[in-house]
Structure 1
Amino acid sequence: MTNTSARLPTTEPQDTERLPRLLRAMGAIERVGNALPHPFWLFWILAIALGLASAILSWTDVSVTSPADGKVVEIHNLFSGAGLQMAVSTAIDNFAEFPPMATIVVVIMGVALAERTGFLQAVMRVSISRVPTSMIVFAVAFAGTMAHVASAAAYVILVPLGGLAFRAVGRSPILGIVVAYTAIASGYDASPIPTPNDAIFAGITTAAAKTIDPEAYVSPLSNWFFNIASSIVLATVITVVTKLVLSRRSDLEPDADADLGDIKDLQIDRKERRALRIAGLSLLAAIAVLVIILIPQSSPLRGEHGSLTDSPFLDGIAMIVAALFALTGIIYGGMTGSLRKPGDVPKMMAEGIRQMAPVLVLFFAIAQFLAYFDWTGVGDLVSAASARALGDLGAPPVVLFLGILLALTIINLLVTSGSAMWSLTAPILVPMMLLLHVPAETTQALFRIADSGSTAITPMSPYFVMALGFLQRYRKSAGVGTLASYTIPLAISMTVTWTVLFLVWWALGIPLGPGAPVR
């Protein structure tokens, strides 16, 4: 990469007043979103609404045939004495046994070591600092899809690095900010590397699927094959749209007095480079050992009859992923000095858990709501009625898929927390689609597309505001409409292409992940 501080010719910034409809739409989304309560309170409000619905349905003697075993299930009144008894006596168990709980805590402990020792930051810097100029857009975009292993820290680390990387090759740092932010936001659920989100979504999907099949289990790797292909396709789409559309805009030059940052921030020193190399080789060696252990049919990590799809390996994949992250973090931190003593390991793990505290608090409300939903029988009623109605319509699966994508995309504009949105919609969508013979893993893949695509354009996302702050380092006059006008062409193109990829994937019957058929 050639370092240069030369500026491109200065041009007048585009007047955002040319986008009145866009600004009005963004303003409406922001107003409606701001009117919504915090997701924690939203689930308690929904629990009250569920209680009212269950009381009315119970008083009118509404019943439903259980989709699980064909038996008639009566609707139970959540506001009855039995409902109060259930809510009080099961609250702790609901929280403790909530599927994503233990999984996400274990994964985060490993990821926290890799992040806080500086290993993940070094990987991101190296991934975009040693590529030819012609590949810089793809490199930043693909790094954005991989950055999700660092969860929310991906925005803090990669977005400003994207601006520096573009400036280093003589391109607009504003464009680098936009590419990095959109790749992370609108490709958030397409990581080729297993992330904490995979564990969260799989746990929520498992809980929803159990209403139909008590033995259901959705692995954190259930969409892995699809995620790998998606990350490559989305990075390619970003590259093409950036070249054909965004690069031709006339407002890509930063302000004359903008602080362009130090290109040296992209570089790593000799100690870091050596530590990164050793940590990487150690990771490869650990994976090789794991593969060797898995090869024999009699491997203790295989299941009955040598199965890999139903095996201790997949059951414990969260622990394995956490251990691999921890290994790289410990080696890298020990060699660079960011990990000074053994006592720093649990301290860093605890810091990672502390960062997840808001999510764990939200999980408490979600776990209670889902337990109430299951106990009242309202979930069975809605799922069975919806599946029956859709079955009577005789609509082809593609139409159902597109309808689900559209509905979830609209919800995502307002409820930007992926775990909150999936917790809200999975109890309806997963059982409904299972009754229509669509696997839970397939419905989850649809959710991934909707949960990611519109994230880059909604001002309700806290990371939209964060990205705007980074953009304003280069142009002080930039506003919500400015950033949205950059991200909308990318987000729409990514969503459309990702949807087409899913439909082709489904039509060809390619497994979504290990032991996860698409249909």
Structure 2
Amino acid sequence: MSVHEATSVTTSRGQRFLDKIERAGNMLPHPFWLFWILAGVLAVVSFALHVAGVTVTKPDGDTVPIQNLLSPEGFRYAITESIDNFMSFPPLGTALVALMGLALADRAGLLTTAVRGALTRVSPKMVTPVLAFTASVAHVAGDAGYIILIPLGGIIFRAVGRSPIVGTVVALVALSGGSAASPIMIPNDVILSGITTKAAHIVDPGYTMTPVGNIYFTIVSSLVLTAVITLVVDKWLSKRIERIEDIHELTDEERASMTLSPIEHRGLRNAGITALVYLLLLGASMAWPTSPMRGEHGGFVDSTLISGIAVFLALFFVATGTAYGVTVNKITNSASIPDLIADGLKDITPILVLFFAVSQFLGYFSWTNIGVLIATNGAENLRDLNAPTVVIFGGILIVISAMNLVITSGSAQWSLVGPIFVPMLMLLHVDPVTTTALYRIADSCTNVLTPVSPYFAMSVAIIARYRKSAGIGTLFSMTLPLAVAMFIAWVALFALWYLLGLPLGPGAPIR
């Protein structure tokens, strides 16, 4: 068989595999309906277990029956507690507060300009690590980061004489494959920690994971993933991709997208000064032990700063977004600020709709006591296996990575598996922050392998501009080695972290 024929066979097999993933993903209902379907299944299971007289012993020693969601009591709970389930859903309030500030910074134009500014005047040798690291910071912009950076990545690479296809791949992989790793706190941290907290309440009603529970790990992870992407791309991938037909002169529109105007420069400068002043004031407020910003007895872990981190994050974006908006005349009066926030919050309405369905499902899961049943039985089965903790971790990584190929919403997937894995591992003395860190790894790397992801499809369309024959298989063949390398490096980092017993965040032990 010739090399060309072997390549064709491999591509054909890869394409069939991708087609199966795409069909499986398309068969799944929208996450909103998925959770209502699961709620229906839960109701039927609760009925069967209740009729069978199944009981469960809680971690505090109390023995309780499985409650029937299809009973009159279950009906009353579902109706009367629906609002409380939604309003008490931990990610709801914190995410809304953080996203209000982010909405202002986005609509004022700060986020877009900051990303463009970070990538201007980059040398050809440094363009890969700078783009990859910028993507890890751009996670703070949510979906806007993908829309801005993926097409801009190709333009930036073209501008320095490198393949725009490689630039597009770097942006996609750093954004999507490293979606849970950032050197700064991002909205995803708020959402994941809230879901973890809710799941942990199945075992310990007093447990709380703060949004910075994994921050030490995510900071180092962003640096490690940047290094891995740079190594694979510059030492192998960029040499594999033909560059002759990929590089063309930039259009006037593309040049304009890379160039900051004088007023944008002033806006970034003023936003930077504001950010520095804000951080200095925040640091000064924590300087003395009796500060109200400190916790009890002057503690840091239980401080106002940590417990209210979502508020301080929102204020940071409000301050810097306002400074930028005023400079570029996007904010002209006091009414502009609430108007921009309201306009920006339109983008998160799908999240609120999903949160309502998720909060009801988790409420039913807790009320029926099925969550405790699964956690206790699962923990007992794992103990009986006598499997080392690292083997259990490996199984969780594989299961979630496989699920991630067809369920691309990180919050939806964690809402689905978190209530199972978090309490189960808590009964095995594994802190929820550790389980959340594992989820970050498994939920991220396979994002770049599934055509179910809208950003994968978007990237296919972009690289097709530079190579007409490019398709799903083309992009998959480029992202696969990067996904594998990132997964191996990230798991190795976690293993080293675990073996050394390092904290994953402030006051968050790994064991």
TM-score category, normalised to shorter length: over 0.9
Kindly indicate whether residue 300 of structure 2 is the aligned counterpart of residue 308 of structure 1: yes
How far did 1:133 drift? 2.1
Cα distance in 1 between the residues matched to 2:18 and 2:342? 38
Q: Secondary structure of 2:364's partner?
A: helix
Kindly indicate whether residue 26 of structure 2 is the aligned counterpart of residue 30 of structure 1: no
| Corresponding residue for residue 212 of structure 2 | 221
How far did 1:282 drift? 1.2
| Corresponding residue for residue 486 of structure 1 | 478
| Corresponding residue for residue 155 of structure 1 | 146
Aligned with 2:180 (options 184, 189, 212): 189
Q: Secondary structure of 1:73's partner?
A: strand
| Corresponding residue for residue 196 of structure 2 | 205
Cα distance in 1 between the residues matched to 2:485 and 2:16? 22
Cα distance in 1 between the residues matched to 2:221 and 2:459? 23
Cα 1:250–1:183, aligned 2, differ >3 Å: closer, same or farther?
Answer: closer
Aligned with 1:66 (options 43, 58, 76): 58
Partner AA of 2:153 in structure 1: G
Q: Secondary structure of 2:81's partner?
A: helix
1:451-500, Cα deviation, whole Å (9 max, x unpaired): 11100110111111112222222223321111111111111111111111
How far did 1:396 drift? 1.1
Q: Secondary structure of 1:102's partner?
A: helix
Cα distance in 1 between the residues matched to 2:106 and 2:12? 41
**Alignment map for 1:26-425 (pairs within 5 Å):** 26-67=18-59, 69-254=60-245, 262-425=254-417
Give the TM-score normalised by structure 1. 0.95
Partner AA of 2:428 in structure 1: L
1:274-320, Cα deviation, whole Å (9 max, x unpaired): 22112112111111111111121111011111111112221110000
Cα distance in 2 between the residues matched to 1:322 and 1:467? 31
Cα distance in 1 between the residues matched to 2:288 and 2:336? 38
Cα 1:21–1:258, aligned 2, differ >3 Å: closer, same or farther?
Answer: farther
How far did 1:155 drift? 0.9
1:358-408, Cα deviation, whole Å (9 max, x unpaired): 110011100000000000010000000001111121111111111101000
- Are the counterparts in 1 of residues 119 and 130 from structure 2 also a CA contact under 8 Å? yes
Q: Secondary structure of 1:217's partner?
A: coil
How far did 1:341 drift? 2.4
How far did 1:43 drift? 0.4
Kindly indicate whether residue 473 of structure 2 is the aligned counterpart of residue 444 of structure 1: no
- Are the counterparts in 1 of residues 163 and 246 from structure 2 also a CA contact under 8 Å? no
Tell me how many residue pairs correspond in the alignment.
506
Cα distance in 1 between the residues matched to 2:161 and 2:247? 16
Partner AA of 2:115 in structure 1: M
Cα distance in 1 between the residues matched to 2:500 and 2:127? 33
- Are the counterparts in 2 of residues 128 and 139 from structure 1 also a CA contact under 8 Å? yes
How far did 1:212 drift? 1.2
Cα distance in 1 between the residues matched to 2:304 and 2:255? 46
- For structure 1, the 5+ residue unaligned runs are 1-11
Between 1:322-331 and 1:240-249, the stretch displaced more is: 240-249
Cα distance in 1 between the residues matched to 2:139 and 2:230? 19
1:41-62, Cα deviation, whole Å (9 max, x unpaired): 1101101111111111111111
Give the TM-score normalised by structure 2. 0.96
1:257-286, Cα deviation, whole Å (9 max, x unpaired): 897662342121222112211211211111
Q: Percent identity?
A: 47
1:115-155, Cα deviation, whole Å (9 max, x unpaired): 11111112211222233221110001111111111100111
Partner AA of 2:179 in structure 1: Y
Cα 1:78–1:271, aligned 2, differ >3 Å: closer, same or farther?
Answer: same
How far did 1:164 drift? 1.3
| Corresponding residue for residue 462 of structure 1 | 454
- Are the counterparts in 2 of residues 174 and 254 from structure 1 also a CA contact under 8 Å? no
Partner AA of 1:195 in structure 2: I
Aligned with 1:435 (options 420, 427, 436): 427
Q: Secondary structure of 1:438's partner?
A: coil
Q: Secondary structure of 2:290's partner?
A: coil
Cα 1:207–1:254, aligned 2, differ >3 Å: closer, same or farther?
Answer: farther
Cα distance in 1 between the residues matched to 2:461 and 2:433? 37
Cα distance in 1 between the residues matched to 2:365 and 2:290? 42
Cα distance in 2 between the residues matched to 1:30 and 1:258? 35
- Are the counterparts in 2 of residues 278 and 331 from structure 1 also a CA contact under 8 Å? yes
1:82-111, Cα deviation, whole Å (9 max, x unpaired): 100110110011111111111111111101
1:189-232, Cα deviation, whole Å (9 max, x unpaired): 10111111111101100001111111111111111111110000
Between 1:278-287 and 1:178-187, the stretch displaced more is: 278-287
- Are the counterparts in 2 of residues 174 and 253 from structure 1 also a CA contact under 8 Å? no
